[in-house]
Copies of this chain bind each other. A is one copy, B any other.
Amino acid sequence: MSVPELMAGIGRAARAAADKLALASTVVKNRALQAAADALRSHRHRILAANERDLREAEASAAPSSAPLLDRLRLDEKRVLAMAAALEEVAALPDPIGTILAEWSRPNGIVIQRRRVPLGVVGIIYESRPNVTADAGALCLKSSNAVILRGGSESQRSNAAIHASLEQGLEVAGLPRSAIQLVPTTDRAAVGVMLADMRGSIDVIVPRGGKGLIERVRNEARVPVIGHLEGVCHVYVDRDADLTMARQIVLNAKLRRTGVCGAAETLLVDNAVAATHLQPLVCALLDAGCAVRGDAATMAVDARVTAATEADWSTEYLDAIIAARVVDGVDAAMAHIAQYGSKHTDSIVTGNAATAERFLARVDSAIVLHNASTQFADGGEFGMGAEIGISTDKFHARGPVGVEQLTSYKYVVRGAGQIRD
């Protein structure tokens, strides 16, 4: 069978499953999630064996620099059990489907409801991390969407083993197995078909991956996309910042985990407090093992600081590296963020409420914070439950994409024979 034929069949099965899922009860969906969690636990040795084969192949063909890739790919018993627990957490979330978002009546007596409904069929294109198979499958199921999962070729065996547990969960609950499908080929043509040719069978695509994937999605997508661009996140330390608070936030924002999209990549320090604040902040970062690439003022405070190039200001390092510079107050900080940022997550540290409000109102990012770490950019930290990612789009979903963001709505109108004048 050709890749387009294969994908067309997957699309048809997904649409049929979506029609059933739209009417599935919360109890049944949760039963499937619980059964899938149980299956993950009982099949964990099979999953780890599949992962071992993926790892061996990846190691054999890997470049020496690909340690982070191997780390993302690697599963162990703890990670599999965490995946199972994540499914149970999704089961525990409120069901978004069927919720009445608003209800009002009109002078002519018709009553209008805005009712939450699923999007339909979601396509997920992702790389290396096998846990996305379980997470994305669970979030789509909870929001009554059918999902077509297209994982990276390097994790195909791990994904297939995890996917088998999800299918088992669906079967136990009496839901169609095609509610969660894994594309069974590693042929990259399948991605092209999903992006360009499956309008009508895929309602939205969520890409999860590096710049190469994002670029491909941008160029080829004819299906709506919830975009996840990079997170070039900033911490701006204002003239009215408390130094102790600033130091804690900067260290946490940069170093708590460097590989997440909410990790800070650039430190901006107000010129008015550069004399007092810049050196302690930069030294704290350096002492904690973080490389600092700075402007002239930053280089002057410590010999370990290297020179930042223009490219550094727009780089998402995802590593223990930070770019740092002095700016002339909050307006210059905002101008820097507007020029180099990625509209993901940005934080101001200040004791001045007016300055904070100015920053919060004017910085055009999905998440803006005052006196808090950028690492809070996370659906779980927001209390929204699990997430597929953080959208840097303004269209449809912005910020953390959880079960609610995977929905649409319809208008339900009830009358008693009303006609329009």
Contact = CB atoms under 8 A, between A and B. Distances in A.
A420 B376 contact: yes
Contacts of A248: 417, 419
A395 B375 CA distance: 28
Interface stretch (A44-52, A280-288, A408-416): A408-416
Contacts of A418: 371-373, 376
Interface-centre pick from A361, A362, A416, A419 (highest chain B CB count, 10 A): A419
B245 A372 contact: no
A408 B420 contact: no
A366 interface: yes
A369 B413 contact: yes
A224 B225 CA distance: 9
Contact of A375 (B253, B367, B411, B419): B419
Interface-centre pick from A199, A373, A394, A413 (highest chain B CB count, 10 A): A413
A367 B411 contact: yes
A413 B376 contact: yes
A256 B419 contact: yes
Contacts of A233: none
B249 A368 contact: no
A261 interface: no
B23 A362 contact: yes
A396 B395 contact: yes
Contact of A408 (B106, B253, B394): B394
A218 B222 CA distance: 8
Contacts of A117: 364, 394
B106 A417 contact: no
Contacts of A376: 110, 413, 415, 418, 420
Contacts of A204: 395
Given A408-B395, A412-B360, A383 B104 contact: yes
Contacts of A222: 218
Nearest to A257: B420
Nearest to A365: B410
Nearest to A343: B410
A119 interface: yes
Contacts of A367: 410-411, 413
B372 A415 contact: yes
Contacts of A371: 414-418
A295 B394 CA distance: 47
A314 to B, nearest CB: 14
A381 interface: yes
A325 interface: no
A12 to B, nearest CB: 14
A327 to B, nearest CB: 19
A252 B420 contact: yes
Contact of A224 (B224, B256, B370, B417): B224
Contacts of A411: 366-368, 382, 398-399
Given A362-B23, A381-B420, A224 B372 contact: no
Interface of A: 22-23, 104, 106, 110, 112, 117, 119-120, 199, 203-204, 218, 222, 224, 242, 245, 248-249, 251-253, 256, 356, 360-362, 364-373, 375-376, 381-383, 393-396, 398-399, 408-420
9 contacts: A22-B364, A204-B395, A366-B410, A368-B412, A370-B414, A370-B415, A372-B419, A376-B418, A399-B411
Given A365-B410, A366-B410, A372-B419, 6 more contacts: A106-B382, A224-B224, A224-B393, A248-B417, A372-B418, A395-B396
Give 10 nearest A-B pairs by CB, closest first.
A372-B415, A252-B419, A394-B408, A245-B417, A396-B396, A375-B420, A369-B413, A224-B395, A371-B415, A373-B419
